Structure 1
Amino acid sequence: MRTVLMCHADDAFDRQGLAAWLASFSDLAGLVLIEETGEQKRARIRREFQRVGPWRFLDVLAMRFYYRFRLAAADQAWTEASLAGLRARFGDVSGVPELRVSSANAPEVAAFLKTCAPDVMIARSKQLLARKIYRIPRQGCLVMHPGICPEYRNAHGCFWAMAERDLDRVGLTLLRIDAGVDTGPVYGYFTYAFDEANESHVRVQYRMVLENLDPLAQRIRDIAAGTARPLDVEGRESGVWGQPWLSRYLRWKRAALAKQPITAAAE
């Protein structure tokens, strides 16, 4: 099975840890590393501002500042320890062809993918892929989405499920990319015994991947082999979510500290 990993160049967990994991059970044929420009980041901010309005956008900014000054250092230490564990288990990746681009849909990406000829590409990108890109891998592009779809599509699905006290739907969805936003065929749900009182939403999101590496690898092998079948999600409510709000974060943590019961997410 030939694979390609697309991720952001500054995300060491993906670029080093998940790359080594992919190489452990597949022929990792290439890495597409996205280096976004300042204008691309500002455009994402403008879209969120337009989506939620000026007052709610202040809530989003407040959450960003709170996370940076209260939570980020502990999460960074956890990430470094987790990455060291991944290296110890899977080793380091070297010699894999790399392509560095600012846009996931650049013409160079299409040319690179055609050269790599992957069966599957794993996309860990904030940018939506164009059809001309996601149709190149033989069995498509897969996303390990942090949220249960279709109820928690788009951004930060784990955060919003916990904030909504929808604890049965705190998990990860493995899906194939299509023209929509997390609307493609679903091939599995994964979770772990998250500690919502003591873990940040960012750590929960990363651990959804880290704690399920073996079952995810098997499901990806099944998809590449053409033996996996998508799950039936017909008739379920579909929700599109965005960036976390500080007001909802504080309300969520109060509920979590009050020892609201945690139940397993969908399997």
Structure 2
Amino acid sequence: MRLVRTVLMCHAGDAFDREGLAAWMASFSDLAGIVVIDETSAQKRARVRRELRRLGPWRFLDVLAMRLYYRLKLAAADRRWMADSLAALHGRFGRPARVPELHVSDANAIEVAHFLREHKPDVMIARSKQLLARRIFRIPRHGSLVMHPGICPEYRNAHGCFWALAERELDRVGLTLLRIDAGVDTGPIYGYFTYPFDESRESHVRVQYRVVLENLDAIAQRIRDIVAGKAEAVDTSGRRSGTWGQPWLSRYLRWKRAARERAV
């Protein structure tokens, strides 16, 4: 049986994706290449301005406070956990395969289209903060897939795991495997994945990475099923749909207080 042919799209600074997930993909598929997004300072500032316009200045301060709190109180422990997790991935799958890499700042650059047409993947796994244009996500034979950190359609866009925890919808904390379409996490859904998270001890960042780590075998099988035409899309008719954004410190503190009370 022919191996599924894949391409990974990820950000330059995310070793979990660029090294760990690349090795995982090479373990069950023919990893044909990696598109590495190295964003410019201007692109990062533009994302900040969009969030500011979306939230307004006062709520945006809540976002900035969360980022500062995370950096001072949580980031060091998460970095240690990430290093251990990456080492475990290397131990299980080896080092990433040596495959062609394309470095771009824009996920929709014409070079990306050329790269995908040259390497002819069945699917691309997109781990990108940038929305993909139709002329990019439709090039792979079976489309482009997202391992979205959140249960869709209720928790679309950014940080779905955080917001499900903050909203106390603990049965909505997980990962959605979906095919990209022209909307924001609105494409066909091919599965939900979760794990027995510890909300009183784990950060939201750790939860959204662990939900990937704990389900690699099942996700790999679902990708094979999609390419083989054996996977059916989930019917989400009648369910509410919501778009979310960056975490707020006020909601983080309220979530953690509720988690401690629940654990007593």
Give, as a single letter, the amino acid of the residue that structure 2 aligns with 1:79.
M
TM-score (structure 1 length as normaliser): 0.97
Task: Calculate the aligned-residue CA RMSD, in Å.
Answer: 0.8
**Runs of 4 or more consecutive aligned structure 1 residues displaced over 6 Å after TM superposition:** none
Aligned position for 1:78 = 81
Give, as a single letter, the amino acid of the residue that structure 1 aligns with 2:237.
E
Aligned position for 2:47 = 44
The secondary structure found in structure 2 opposite 1:178 is: coil
Q: Does 1:63 align with 2:66?
A: yes
**For 2:254 and 2:31, how far apart are their aligned partners in 1?**
43
Once the two structures are superposed, what CA deviation does each residue of 1:77-134 show, in whole Å capped at 9, x if it has no partner? 0000000000000001242000000000000000000011000000000000000000
Query: Which blocks of at least 5 consecutive residues in structure 1 are unaligned?
Result: 262-267
Q: Does 1:211 align with 2:214?
A: yes
| Structure 2 residue corresponding to 1:180, chosen from 150, 158, 183 | 183
Give, as a single letter, the amino acid of the residue that structure 2 aligns with 1:43.
A
Q: Does 1:7 align with 2:10?
A: yes
Aligned position for 1:264 = none
Corresponding pairs, count: 261
Correspondence 1:154-233 to 2 at 5 A? 154-233=157-236
**For 2:82 and 2:119, how far apart are their aligned partners in 1?**
30
| Structure 1 residue corresponding to 2:23, chosen from 20, 25, 41 | 20
Q: Is the 8 A contact 2:200 2:263 kept in 1?
A: no
| Structure 2 residue corresponding to 1:105, chosen from 93, 102, 108 | 108
The secondary structure found in structure 2 opposite 1:258 is: helix
| Structure 2 residue corresponding to 1:93, chosen from 85, 96, 99 | 96
Cα shift at 1:159: 0.2
**For 2:55 and 2:12, how far apart are their aligned partners in 1?**
29
Give, as a single letter, the amino acid of the residue that structure 2 aligns with 1:103.
D
Give, as a single letter, the amino acid of the residue that structure 2 aligns with 1:121.
M
Once the two structures are superposed, what CA deviation does each residue of 1:157-178 show, in whole Å capped at 9, x if it has no partner? 0000000001110010000000
Cα shift at 1:232: 0.2
Once the two structures are superposed, what CA deviation does each residue of 1:124-161 show, in whole Å capped at 9, x if it has no partner? 00000000000000000000000000000000000000
Give, as a single letter, the amino acid of the residue that structure 2 aligns with 1:117.
K
The secondary structure found in structure 1 opposite 2:262 is: coil
**For 1:118 and 1:105, how far apart are their aligned partners in 2?**
17
